[in-house]
A and B are shown apart, each in its own frame.
Chain A
Amino acid sequence: MPFNMGITELEEMASRCRINIIKMIHKAQSGHPGGSLSAIDMIVGLYGTVLNIDPSNPNWEDRDRFIMSKGHASPAVYSILNEFGIINEQDFMSFRRLGSVCQGHVDMKWTDGVDFSAGSLGMGLSFGLGCSLAAKLDNSERKIWVMIGDGETQEGQIWEAIMAADFYSSDNLKLIVDKNGIQNDDFVSKQMEVGDLRGKIESFGWEVREIDGHNMDQICDAIDWADKGKKGPMAIIANTIKGKGVSYMENNPSFHGKAPNDEEYQIAMEELA
């Protein structure tokens, strides 16, 4: 059943998730803090309100799906699965270690509650479309939520999927773009400007809403809007700050895929406390 949490509860959950994201990446001395911290507020907003899952039965066939296409932001996913008791602290503190259920990139074969094996950008929306078509064949009301990054839209396959989702009028498919403006090497604008994402996605026939991806009121409104939408595929473009919540990581391309050292870890813990 959907959890229908309130704003304060969601904001508190997001704060705990941020701390756990930094903890697991620091412990592993490896991982992607920037994109995890930019994405986490939307993920919390989704899991805490409308996403229809059963934490005691994460493989329930008729669950809503959350397809994390930007699979390097796995710490954000592990932090939310921990909140819902699907994995525990011991699991996520073994992140990236041999035999861990928390693989470097989210992997449906390794982690309960993970619906897609990601790690190669550009594939998750297509996978979500497949899940969407299957739900229709099953006459199921389940919904498919997909999260991608803005840099990820440089992959041509994203646009293949956006075109196909409109063709199939996939009103059970919901896209969230974590638009943090930074990719692996540098700012998106310097690597390959993706331009007017809203206009581009709308031009393919989707309904699009643009929000502040760190404002929980706006997040909940937009998720509710997309959840109820029935006209076709719907997208939320969430304007976010890479590394949100840790001062020296915010809007800093060097923390796309770098773990904090011990000193940086202490600073982050103080700021997130």
Chain B
Amino acid sequence: MSAPSGGGASRDGYGSALLKLSSNPNIVVLEADLGKSTKSCHFRSEYPDRTFSLGIAEQNMMLVAAGLASSGKIPMASTFAIFTERGFEQIRNGIARPCLKVHICGSHGGIHTGSDGSSAQSIEDLAIYRTLPNMTILHPADDISAEELTIQVAELEGPSYMRTIRNKVPRSYTDETKNNLKIGKGNLLKEGKDVVIISCGVMVSKSIDASIILKNEGIDAAVIDMHTIKPLDGDLVDMWSKRCGCIVTAEDHSIIGGLGSAVAEHNSKNNLVPIEMVGVKDIFGESGDSEELFKKMSMATEDIVKAAKKSIGRK
């Protein structure tokens, strides 16, 4: 039974994008018993002949997708983010290594998944897939951006992993501003001069909220939606870290290996400025309401505000 998810849940954007992609006859959809949750179910309803259920068998699904891609199809394979990891070595050896155009969507990513508890809360997916050569890694902020980026994914020349989330969040995009989105290019949502907050996924809207609180306290924060974790838009990081002199990263993901790490790796080679990372601090989550969990795990809007002040203090 899938939870209601109208409005701004990025999984809905994935589902609607598949329908928009359907005019390309090479697009095929693969499911592992979670199509109602990942929202590939809408494509299944319209195009059952191009939708393949593989049952609760993710390892098989990844290689079936690879075989389809080797034969000219464009497979869009989805399950929960955590269960894509069941097929990690399949993705590594069967998809990334031969650079086959398989596009994996892991839904229900992060602590934000909430009440299902820690077994369902992938906090490491972005990190593990980021280590694979040839892979493009995406984590959109809302449904509108997820739809636009999923449509662009189908044009990539290699494999990709996109993490979507289960619950509605305030939208960061409109039908007009979505045109600013381009895979591999971070999107500046707000200019600023004191600190740049680089975020992805559900943390984008929280980062915007944090920038409003900071503004009231006289701090001018820039906000970037870094929807593409890999390849990282290093030029944009450089431009705004130089202008602001310090960075905050914000992600619903372990601070080991994800967006924060990617920005820190880049920063260490280019333009050394202080970085504070907001994210999961090397612990597992638990059941609970998303916002309560974010508070308990120091990932709420006020934690981004605190991190911004701390980063500014380290200049």
Contact = CB atoms under 8 A, between A and B. Distances in A.
Interface of A: 61, 107-109, 115-117, 119-120, 122-124, 126-135, 137-138, 156-157, 160-161, 163-164, 167-168
B67 A109 contact: no
Contacts of A133: 28, 52, 64, 67-68
Q: Interface SS of chain B: helix, strand, loop or mixed?
A: helix
A101 B50 CA distance: 35
A138 B70 CA distance: 13
Interface of B: 28, 49-50, 52, 54-55, 57, 59-73, 75, 89-90, 93-94, 97-99
Given A126-B94, A127-B94, 17 more contacts: A122-B59, A123-B63, A123-B94, A126-B66, A127-B70, A129-B60, A130-B66, A131-B68, A131-B70, A133-B28, A134-B67, A135-B71, A137-B73, A138-B72, A157-B57, A157-B59, A167-B55
17 contacts: A120-B89, A120-B93, A123-B63, A123-B94, A126-B60, A126-B63, A126-B64, A127-B63, A127-B64, A127-B70, A129-B63, A131-B70, A133-B52, A134-B72, A137-B49, A137-B73, A163-B57
A137 B65 CA distance: 14
A156 B117 CA distance: 27
A160 to B, nearest CB: 4
Nearest to A129: B64
A127 B71 contact: no
A131 B60 contact: no
A156 B57 CA distance: 10
Q: Interface SS of chain A: helix, strand, loop or mixed?
A: helix
Contacts of B52: 133, 168
Nearest to A132: B67
Given A160-B60, A164-B57, A130 B65 contact: yes
Contacts of A116: 70
A129 B71 contact: no
A119 B97 CA distance: 11
Contacts of B49: 137
Nearest to B94: A123
Contact of A131 (B55, B71, B94, B97): B71
B90 to A, nearest CB: 6
A148 to B, nearest CB: 13
A127 B52 CA distance: 14
Nearest to A158: B60
B68 A160 contact: no
Given A107-B98, A108-B98, A130-B65, A157 B70 contact: no
A131 B89 CA distance: 20
A128 B67 contact: yes
A149 to B, nearest CB: 17
Given A129-B67, A134-B71, A135-B71, A117 B94 contact: yes
A167 B33 CA distance: 15
A164 B70 contact: no
B110 to A, nearest CB: 28
Given A131-B70, A134-B67, A156 B97 contact: no
Contact of A134 (B55, B68, B93): B68
A164 B98 contact: no
A163 B55 contact: yes
Contacts of A115: 70
Contacts of B73: 134, 137
Contact of A138 (B71, B75, B98): B71
Contacts of A122: 59
Contacts of A109: 97-99
